[in-house]
Chains A and B, each alone.
Chain A
Amino acid sequence: MNKNLFLNVLSNPLSKAGFIIIVAVFLLAMFAPLIAPYDPDDINVKAILLAPSGQHWMGTDGLGRDVLSRMLHGGRISLLVGLVAVGISTAIGILLGAVAGYYRGWVDTFIMRLVDIMLSIPSFFLILAVIAFLTPSIVNVMIVIGLTSWMGVTRLVRAEFLSLHGREFVMASRTLGANDARLIFTHLLPNSLTPIIVSSVLGVAGAVLMESGLSFLGLGVQAPQASWGNILSDGKDYIQFAWWLSLFPGLAILITVLGYNLLGEGLRDALDPRSGKNK
Chain B
Amino acid sequence: MLNYLIKRVLWMVPLLIGISLISFFIMHLAPGDITNNEAAFNPKTSEESRQKLRELYNLDKPVIVQYGLWMKRMVTLDFGNSFASHHKPVFWQTTDKDGNVTKGMIQEALPITLIINVLGLVITLVLAIPLGIIAARRYGLWQDKSITLFNFIGFSIPGFWLSLLLMYWLGVMNNWLPISGLHSINYESLGTWGKIKDSISHLFLPVVIPSVTGLAGITLFVKNGMLDVFHQDYITTARAKGLSEHKVVYTHALRNALLPLITIVGLSIPGLIGGSVIAETIFAIPGMGKLFYDAVMMRDFPVIMGILTIGSALTLIGNLIADIAYAWADPRVRRGVMRE
List B residues 290-325 near A (Cβ within 8 Å). 292-293, 295-297, 299, 304-305, 307-308, 311-312, 315-316, 319
Q: Which B residue sits closest to A243, measured CB to CB?
A: B168
Q: Does A47 contact B (CB under 8 A)?
A: no
Residue among A209, A219, A254 making CB contact with B296, cutoff 8 Å: A219
**Which of B11-19, B64-72, B91-99, B248-256 is found at the contact surface with chain A?**
B11-19
A238-262: CB near B (< 8 Å → 1, else 0) gives 0110010011011001100110011
Number of interface residues of B (CB under 8 A): 56
- Inter-chain CA distance A246–B267, complex, in Å, is 32
Kindly name the residue among A117, A232, A275 whose own CB sees the greatest number of chain B CB atoms within 10 A.
A117
Is A246 a contact partner of B168 (Cβ separation < 8 A)?
yes
Complex formed: what's the CA distance from A255 to B27 in Å?
37
Taken together as a complex, chains A and B put the C-alpha atoms of A218 and B277 apart, in Å, by 13
Q: Is the CB of A125 within 8 A of B26?
A: no
Other-chain residue from A122, A205, A240, A253 in contact with B274 (beta carbon distance below 8 A) = A122
B227 within 8 A of A: yes
**Cβ of A7 < 8 Å from any Cβ of B?**
no
Q: Are B156 and A258 in contact (CB under 8 A)?
A: yes
Q: In the assembled complex, how far is the CB of residue A204 from the closest CB belonging to chain B, in whole angstroms?
A: 12
> What residues of chain A lie closer than 8 Å to B204, measured between beta carbons?
none
> Complex formed: what's the CA distance from A255 to B271 in Å?
23
Instruction: Tell me whether A14 is interfacial, beta carbon within 8 Å.
Output: yes
Of A60-68, A85-93, A129-137, which stretch is located at the interface? A129-137
Q: Are B316 and A133 in contact (CB under 8 A)?
A: no
Assembly CA distance A113 to B111 (angstroms)? 30
Stretch touching chain A among B29-37, B47-55, B78-86, B183-191: B29-37
Contact flag A14-B152 (CB < 8 Å), given A133-B30, A216-B278, A250-B158: yes
Partner of A254, one of B161, B224, B295, B315: B161
17 other contacts beyond A117-B18, A133-B27, with CB at 8 A cut-off?
Answer: A121-B19, A121-B308, A122-B274, A124-B275, A125-B273, A125-B292, A125-B307, A128-B292, A129-B305, A129-B308, A130-B26, A219-B296, A236-B164, A250-B161, A254-B157, A257-B157, A265-B152
What residues of chain A have their CB less than 8 Å away from a CB belonging to chain B?
Answer: 14, 113-114, 116-126, 128-134, 205, 209, 212-213, 216-219, 232, 235-236, 239-240, 243, 246-247, 249-250, 253-254, 257-258, 261-262, 265, 275, 279
